[in-house]
Structure 1
Amino acid sequence: MQTTDIAKKYSELFDELEHCAEIEQKQKIKAMNILMNEMDEEEFNYVFTTELYNKINKMNEEKKITMGNAFYLLKSIGYCKALKSLWIDDFKMSSLSKKFENMIVKEEKKVKEGKNEKLLTNLCECYILLNDRFSSGFLRICIPCLLKAALKKDESKETQKEVETALMTLNCIEHWGKEELELLNMNEIKEIIKYHQKCGNLTCLAYYCAWKFMIFGFGEDKSLESLIVNDLHFERKAARELDELAKRIDWKKINEEEEQLRRIDSKDLLALMGWLEVLKLYFGVCQLWSKEHVELINSIVQVFRAGKDYCREICDDCIDVLKIMTIFGTLKVDDLLKGGAVDVVLEEIKQPTMEDKMEYEILIIFMAISRRLIENKDYETDKAKRKEAKRKLFEMMEDEGLEDIITSLCETFDFLNNKYFGDLLSFNISDNFVNV
C-alpha cells in the first residue's frame, strides 16, 4: 500500500516517542490517537504491525517509554480497533504479546494481598483488545478481572472511561464456551445495568455492551427472560437509546461507503449500530410478548427514516431487525402496524430499484406476516383482531397498488432462495396474503 498522509504522520510521531520525556510522550500519543481515529482498515493494517509492537516492547525494556504510557498507547490502539470492528492479528506474533502473557500469569499467581489489580486490568485489556484469539486459560483470568473493573460505581469521567473500556474489552471475546459464560456472572451484569438506570453512570457504548452480555446469557439461563423484559424493561430502554442516538448523529456527514464509515470518529454512530446488533440477538431468543413492542418498533422505524438518505448500512440493519422480530418474535401484527413497520417495508417495495438482498429481506417480512395472519399462535389467538389486521393491510396495499407489485415478485422467489439459501419464501404468497 502507498503510505497515506495519515499513516505517515502517525508513524513519524511514533518514531519521536523514544526521544521524549514522559509528559511530552503522553501529549504525542493524544495527537496520534486523533490521527488513528481517521484511519480506514487498510491504513490500520499498514501502521499497526508486529514490528511496531516489538518496537514498543524494546522501548519499554530500554526505559524509553514508561509502562503507563505504553498501556495508554496500546489501549488506545485496541479500543479503536474494537470500535471499528477490525480484524488484525499482528499483535499475537509480537514479543510484547508473549511478555504480557507471562506478566498476566505471574500477577494472577500472587496472593490476593500482593496482587496489583490495576496492573492486571491494564494487561488483560491490552491483551484482549489487541488480540483476536485467546486461550481458555487466559480468559479464566481476564474475565473476572474485567468484570470487577466494570462494576466500579464512581460517576467521575475517569471511572466512566475505565468501565466503558472494561465492557468494550469483554465484547471483543467473540466465542464464548459454557465455561467462559459461567465466569460472566449475570448477577453482576444485572447490577451494572440497574445501577446505571438509577444513576446514569455509564456511557452509551458501555450501556449497550452490558445489555449485550445480559441477553447473551439467555442461552444458559432462561430465567433472565422475565427479568430483562418485565423488570429491566429492555425494549423501553433500547427505544430511548435509539431515539437519542438518531437525534445526536449528524447524518449529512455520513458517507454510504463502508470504508468511509470506518473513518468516522463517531461513537454515537457505532453505538447505534451496536444497539441494532443487540436487538437482532434479543429477538432471536426472546419468547415473551411485551406491551413495549410498539414503542421499540417505532424507534427502529425513525432510525430507518433518519438514515435513509445518508447511510444504507444502518437502513439494512433496521430492516434486518424488523425481519427477525417478525419471524422469531412474539409481537403481534397489530404491533407492526401501530409501530410503522409495515409502512416502511411498503415504502421500500415501491422504490424503482432495489438490491436483491433488500428485496429478499422485505419478502421474508411479508411471508412472516402472512403466516401470523393464518396461524393460531398464542400471541395471535384473537380471530377478530387477525381479521381486522388483514383488512388494514389489504387497504394499505390496495391504495398504492402494492398487491400487484408483491404478486409480481413471486417470479424472483426461486432466484432469491438459491442466492440466499433457506425456504422461507417457499409457499404461495398470493394465496395467503394478497387475497385476504
Structure 2
Amino acid sequence: MENVGIEQFYDMFPEFDFAEEEERLMKEEMNGMLEKMGKERLKPFFSKEEFDENYELILKNKYPFEKALDLLKHVGFENTIKTTGHSIFTDTSLKKRFEKMLIDENEKTEGKDEKLLIDLCECYLLWYAAYRHINEDVLRICEPCLLKNALMKNKREETQKEVEISLLALNKIPVFERLDKELYLKEVKEIIEYHQVHRNLTRLAYQSAWQFLMIRVAYDNDLERVIVRELHCAREVARELEELARCVDWKRKEEEKREKESREAKILNRWLLTMMYFLEHCRLWNEEIVELFNSIVQIFQVAKDDRRDISRKCIDCFRNAEYNRTIEMDILLKCGVIDIIFGETVKCKAEDLQIKCNLNFFKDLCDRLKEKVEEGNGVSRQKDTKRKIYEKEEEEGFEDFVISLHVILPRCTLRRQLHNRICFSDYVVYL
C-alpha cells in the first residue's frame, strides 16, 4: 500500500454495485485498509494530478461516477479522522463538477435523488479545505441537507454511520461562513438532547455535534447559554472523556502508536482540541465545570508518562481557561490544576517553550489575585486562596526554581522567547 495509485486502489474494489451484503463486506474491507494507513501514508495519496485523472476517467465513461464518489467519501472520512489536511481538492476540476451536480440536483422539481445529494454534500465537504470560502449556493444546499440527514434517530448501525459522516462533514464548514443559525441551532440541539436520553449516536457523531456548536462561540456569544446551561456541556464532556479514557491503551509501545491509533484515542484528541478552543472563548460557566476539570486532570495523570501529545493538550486546556479569567481560581486549586502546572514547570528544561507558557500562567494568576485585593472583593476568601497557593509554591520549590532560571537564563534561548523584560519577582505569587 506504500505507493498505491488511485487506479490501483480502485482495482482493489472493482464492484460497488454487487448485492447489498457483498457491497457491505467490501466497504468494511476498504475501511479496514484505510484504517491501517497512517496519516503520512494517506496525506500524499491524492494529488491534483490524480484528482484530475479521476475526473477524466469519469468524463470518458471509463469509470462510474457513483463508484468514484463512494471511494472518495470513504477516504475523505478517514483523512478527516486522522486530521490530515488536504487543500489540493479545492483547485481541481472534480470539485467544480461536484458543485455543478449539487446545484443541478437540488434544483430538480421532480425525481430528485436525495441519497446522491447527501453523498455529494458529504464528499464535497470532507475534502474541502477548511480555511477556504465555500461557494454560497453550495453552502445553502449542504447545511439543511446534512442537518436533516443527521436528525435520523434509529439505532441501526447503518443509520448511525450515515449520521456520523454527515456530522463530521458539517464540521468542515469554516466558522467564518454565514450559516442559518435558526436552523442549525434548533436541529443540532435536538440531535444532542435526543442522544442524551436515547444514546443513539456513535461517540464520534456525538463529539462532532458538540464541536459544531462550540467552535462558533467566538463568533456568536449567544450560543454560550445554550451550550452551558441548556445542554450541560461541562457535565456531558466530562462523562465522554471518562468513558473514552477507559478504552484507550495508555501503555502502547511507540511503534504501535505510529502504526495505528485507536478510534477512541482519536476521538479523545478531538474532544481536547475542541475544549482548548472553547475554554478560551466561553465566558459563561456553572458549577459543572468542576466535573470537566476533574476529568481532564484524570486524563493528564494517565497520559503524562506515555502520551505527551495528549497530556500537553490537557495543559493547554488549563492555560486557556485561566487566560480567559472566567474560571474561579478556587476551582483551579480544588481540581489540582495548579499542582499540575507547578509540577510540569519544574520538570521543563530551560530551553523548553513550555516554560514560557507556564510562567505566564502564574504571572496571570498573580495579577488576578492582586486585582481582587485592590478591588476589595472577597478579601477573606482571596487571602485563603493565596495562602494555599503559596503553600503549593513552597511544597514544589517553585520560588527556588524561578531564581535558578534567573541564573541560567543568559545561557539559554528562553531569554529571547521572553523578550528580555522579565521581572522575576512577578512570578512569585502576590501575597
Instruction: Specify the TM-score bucket, using the shorter chain as the normaliser.
Output: 0.7 to 0.9
Q: Which residue of 1 aligns with 2:242?
A: 243
Q: CA deviation at 1:255?
A: 3.5
1:225 aligns with 2:221: no
| Residue identity in the other structure for 2:113 | N
Q: Which residue of 2 aligns with 1:294?
A: 290
Q: Which residue of 1 aligns with 2:113?
A: 116
Q: Distance in 2 between matches of 1:124 and 1:22?
A: 24
Q: Distance in 2 between matches of 1:151 and 1:171?
A: 15
Q: Which residue of 1 aligns with 2:203?
A: 204
1:38 aligns with 2:33: no
1:386 aligns with 2:382: yes
Are the equivalent residues in 1 in contact too, given 2:348–2:354 (CA < 8 A)?
Answer: no
Q: Distance in 1 between matches of 2:6 and 2:298?
A: 39
Cα deviations across residues 276-335 of structure 1 (Å, max 9, x unaligned)? 122122222222242122221111111111111222111111111100111104111110
- Counterpart of 1:76 (choices 70, 74, 77) is 74
Q: Distance in 2 between matches of 1:353 and 1:12?
A: 48
Q: Distance in 1 between matches of 2:262 and 2:42?
A: 17
* Number of residue-to-residue matches in the alignment: 424
Are the equivalent residues in 2 in contact too, given 1:229–1:290 (CA < 8 A)?
Answer: yes
Q: CA deviation at 1:378?
A: 12
Q: Which residue of 2 aligns with 1:419?
A: 417
Q: Distance in 2 between matches of 1:417 and 1:309?
A: 28
Could you say if the C-alpha distance between residues 194 and 87 of structure 1 is closer, same or farther in structure 2, counting changes exceeding 3 Å?
same
- Counterpart of 2:315 (choices 314, 319, 334) is 319
Q: Distance in 2 between matches of 1:290 and 1:350?
A: 32
Q: Which residue of 1 aligns with 2:428?
A: 433
Could you say if the C-alpha distance between residues 380 and 295 of structure 1 is closer, same or farther in structure 2, counting changes exceeding 3 Å?
farther
| Residue identity in the other structure for 2:389 | L
Q: Distance in 1 between matches of 2:253 and 2:189?
A: 34
Q: CA deviation at 1:409?
A: 3.4
Could you say if the C-alpha distance between residues 276 and 420 of structure 1 is closer, same or farther in structure 2, counting changes exceeding 3 Å?
farther
Give SS of 1:226's match.
Answer: helix
Q: Distance in 2 between matches of 1:357 and 1:378?
A: 32
| Residue identity in the other structure for 1:253 | R
Cα deviations across residues 99-150 of structure 1 (Å, max 9, x unaligned)? 3222111111112x54222210101111111222432332122122111111
Are the equivalent residues in 1 in contact too, given 2:98–2:120 (CA < 8 A)?
Answer: yes
1:139 aligns with 2:136: no
Could you say if the C-alpha distance between residues 379 and 146 of structure 1 is closer, same or farther in structure 2, counting changes exceeding 3 Å?
farther
- Identify the range of structure 1 (20-29 vs 149-158) with the bigger mean alpha-carbon deviation: 20-29
- Identify the range of structure 1 (39-48 vs 388-397) with the bigger mean alpha-carbon deviation: 39-48
Q: Which residue of 1 aligns with 2:165?
A: 165
Are the equivalent residues in 1 in contact too, given 2:294–2:335 (CA < 8 A)?
Answer: yes
Q: How does 1:333-412 map to 2 (within 5 A)?
A: 333-351=329-347, 353=349, 356-376=352-372, 381-409=377-405
Q: How does 1:3-22 map to 2 (within 5 A)?
A: 5-8=1-4, 12-18=8-14, 22=18
Are the equivalent residues in 1 in contact too, given 2:366–2:430 (CA < 8 A)?
Answer: no
Could you say if the C-alpha distance between residues 144 and 368 of structure 1 is closer, same or farther in structure 2, counting changes exceeding 3 Å?
same
Could you say if the C-alpha distance between residues 82 and 246 of structure 1 is closer, same or farther in structure 2, counting changes exceeding 3 Å?
same
Q: CA deviation at 1:167?
A: 0.9
Q: CA deviation at 1:350?
A: 2.8
CA RMSD of aligned residues (A): 3.3
Q: Which residue of 1 aligns with 2:265?
A: 269
Q: CA deviation at 1:71?
A: 3.4
Q: Distance in 2 between matches of 1:385 and 1:64?
A: 75
